[in-house]
Structure 1
Amino acid sequence: MPRPRRRTFEEKKRVTVEGAGPAGLTLDERTGALYAADLGNDRLIELKRGSTIPRFLPAGDGPISVSLSKNGRTAYTADQTSGTLSVIDLREGTVTKSVATGAGALSVATDERSGDVVVVNRTAVTVTVVDPREGVVEETVATEANPNHVEITDGTAYVTDKSGATQTEDTLARIRLAR
């Protein structure tokens, strides 16, 4: 009986952005555009499918994570240095709103049902729910020490809390989001 063929992965093409410090990534699955939060340069890097020339968009102070709106026209960055959420109009290439969420904003995700954005604030030890259209905080929830990452599915935000000096194990928080 023949053995199944193993798949090998190989790099097809590399795009180097001199001086960039990309952190978080997200992909617009409809268009194939890739977005990277450029932590050290306070910007978002956009790379369209098939292109090797990036477009640079402004972001807040220390963007480390990025998420897209459901329609792909808006990007959101968790800005670690300033503790904010930046709302970026991708067509115009401008920051339209900056919302204070808490110290050490580290991870961001979009609730596709409501359009709300959830930001994990590591230093503040909170999770903040933001209405990006209005530019207001809807709710802030305390978590265990060291909230690290957020993902959203079916109206629930899942937040990982990394163990720290006073904790012995990592935890996972479930936060039900309003409709």
Structure 2
Amino acid sequence: MPGVAHAREIVVDERRDTVWATAFGSGSVVAFDSRTYREVGRVTVEGAGPTGLAVDERTGTVLASDFTNDRLIQVSPGSAVPRFVPAGDGPLSVSFSANGRTACTAGQGAGTVSVVDLRKGVVTRSIPTGEGAKSVAADSRSGRVLAVNRLADSVSVVDPRAGTVVETVATEALPNHVHLTQDGMAYVLDKSASGPAGEDRITRIRLGSP
């Protein structure tokens, strides 16, 4: 897909056959038709550094974490004018809650997960997880959030409603990203070449029942 300077992350809106991408280098959030690969939308914010990305497929709303300005860029369907919502310190990643009313961000600067009330446009909780918090993913079954702590070599399981860490799981060195499946399996990419042959590794974590 051309025209995405320093592409950082993508998400797919399957209901609308749309692929969204963050272009960190140009401060843009870009949409493409997943069938034709044609660009169908672009929102550019001067001085922004969009990194993480999430989509609410029920509404078509897209959130991009603006690492440079400690905020979220919210793009609503049919609008070229974004809304800005405060986030944590150095938000690299963002995830919607199951009901779409809140979002969680991984704040690399503070080592926290921030819970954001999207309707009010405020941070309601800031939960310490570990140094270098880099990636978040929400479990739609339980509402809990996994946060990868890159410099702490761990993954935190967070209860965003209570504002607590309920479990911490050790990983290989320098975990970088977490992906959650619908059946409660989490896959954490450890980008440290810490395997026996100097390769990167994947840590698999099964979450408990909601």
Could you tell me how far 1:157 is from its partner in structure 2?
Answer: 1.2
- Alignment check: 8 A CA contact 2:138 2:146 kept: yes
Residue type at the aligned position of 1:177: L
Larger Cα Rg: Structure 1 or Structure 2? 1
Partner of 2:11: none
CA RMSD of aligned residues (A): 1.4
> Is 163-172 or 10-19 further displaced after alignment?
163-172
Q: 1:127 to 1:133 in 2, by over 3 A?
A: same
Q: Deviations over 1:48-90 (max 9, x none)?
A: 0111101000011000000011110010000011100000011
Residue type at the aligned position of 2:40: K
Residue 172 (str. 1) matches residue 202 (str. 2): yes
Match of 1:114 among 142, 163, 168: 142
Q: How does 1:140-155 map to 2 (within 5 A)?
A: 140-153=168-181, 154-155=183-184
Partner of 1:123: 151
- Alignment check: 8 A CA contact 1:88 1:96 kept: yes
TM-score (norm: length of structure 2):
0.79
Q: Distance in 2 between matches of 1:8 and 1:44?
A: 29
Partner of 2:26: none
Q: Distance in 2 between matches of 1:109 and 1:63?
A: 13
Could you tell me how far 1:165 is from its partner in structure 2?
Answer: 7.4
The gaps in structure 1 that reach 5 residues or longer are: 1-6
> Is 157-166 or 30-39 further displaced after alignment?
157-166
3-state secondary structure, aligned to 1:103 = coil
Structure ranking higher on relative contact order (CA contacts 8 Å, 6+ apart): 1
Partner of 2:80: 52
> Is 161-170 or 133-142 further displaced after alignment?
161-170
- Alignment check: 8 A CA contact 2:188 2:203 kept: yes
Q: Deviations over 1:6-43 (max 9, x none)?
A: x6422223211111100010111000011000001000
Identity of aligned residues (%): 64
